[in-house]
Amino acid sequence: MPHSQSSWPFERPEQLTDLLREQGATPEECADLLPAVRRLSEWQAPQPSPADTRHLLARLVPELPALSPVRQAIREHQQRTSVAFLLATARAQVSLFGLGFWLVSALVTLVGAVVVLSKVLPDQELVLRLSGPLLAYLGTIVAFRGRGARVLELELVCLPSPLQLAIARLVIVLGYDVSLCLALALVLWAGGTRDVLVLTLSWLMPLLLVAGLALLLSLRLSVQAAASLAYVSWLALGIVSPPQALLFAPELLVLPGCIGLVLLTIALLRLHTGMHRLLPYA
């Protein structure tokens, strides 16, 4: 079996000097060591012939894993970037939300805008503070209604994890709510309202708070009870004066939203770690 000899990887002597320097040798040491290192090239290794490589491949091919189109499709699916995967999952989840959800949410926002623009109430912010979280209530009930029907076992056999499904649904609900928020801001601005930003935030921030609270409570209560409790709690806060003064101070306008995002994060983490508790008969 004739073999040719493999080549020495360093064509120029300077390359060897560079290698010695890189490993910490001083210039004097380099000069001293270089002849010995250069002599390494004298020991050539055999090189396999193409026939040797073919022979080796023939031995290896039977060890290849069986080509499974299903496994390959799943692997390709998993290799997609997390954002693309999340958006693809969210797109698939859109059908969960019926026409009623989209229309009622838009209607609630529109009613809020009309009430503010008509100035029938002295406290315009209050109207928005109470109507915004109503969307969170609706969104939670619609997006997570399957929890009551015990679909978690079905979700567990799907490629996206229940956590990914929950995030995807939140992306839909909150994405739609933010779109409505932008539309509300546009309508208020077109109607000549002052403090558009403050009014819009008065609508969006409580929405986030109620959404976070509802999702967190839904880990212990039914989705209906959790969403109702979260919204009723917010309504109670909106009516009682002392917390109002604290929560709705202009400088703390974004505080409810921040708390809401923290609660959403905690809820998602708890959902992930406490999955077993949500299973039937757990």
Partner 1 sequence: MQEKSDEQLMTAVMVGDQVALAALVTRHHSPLLGYLYRLVGGDQQLAEDLVQETLLHVLRQRTYQADRPFKPWLYRIATNLARDYFKSAAVRKLWREGDEEEAMLHLYDSEPSPEERALAAEQDSEVRAALTQLGEEYRVVLVLRFYQGFSLQEIAETLRIPLGTVKSRLSVGVHRLRAILTPVQKGVD
Stretch that binds partner 1, among 43-51, 151-159, 194-202, 264-272 (CB under 8 A): 43-51
Residues in CB range of 6: below 8 A, 6 or more apart: 44, 45, 46, 47
Of positions 13, 21, 27, 32, contacts partner 1 by CB under 8 A = 32
Q: Can residue 80 be called a binding residue for partner 1 (CB under 8 A)?
A: no
Name residue 162's amino acid: P
Minimum gap (Å) between residue 77 Cβ and partner 1: 13
Q: Rule CB under 8 A: is residue 20 a binding residue for partner 1?
A: yes
In this structure, what are the phi and psi dihedrals at residue 232, rounded to the nearest 5 degrees?
Answer: -65, -40
List the one residue from 18, 31, 68, 274 that touches partner 1 (CB under 8 A). 68
Closer Cβ to partner 1, 43 or 281, answer by number? 43
Give yes or no for a contact between 255 and 205, defined as CB atoms under 8 angstroms apart. yes
Helix (H) or strand (E) holding 4: strand 4-5
Question: Which residues have a Cβ under 8 Å from the Cβ of 187 and sit 6 or more positions away?
Answer: 110, 113, 117
- Region of 9-17, 151-159, 206-214, 240-248 interacting with partner 1 (CB under 8 A): 9-17
Closer to partner 1 by Cβ: residue 70 or 245: 70
Which residue's CB is nearer to partner 1, number 54 or number 119? 54
Amino acid residing at 269: L
Cα torsion through 154, 158, 163, 166, rounded to 10: -70
Nearest-approach distance from CB 158 to partner 1, in angstroms: 21
Nearer of residues 66 and 99 to partner 1, judged by Cβ = 66
Distance CA 243, CA 256 (A): 12
Is 26 one of the binding residues for partner 1 (CB under 8 A)?
no
- Give dist(CA 255, CA 261) in Å, integer: 10
Residues that bind partner 1 (CB under 8 A): 3, 6, 8-10, 16, 19-20, 22-25, 32-33, 35-37, 39-40, 42-48, 52-53, 56-57, 59-61, 63-68, 71-72, 75, 79
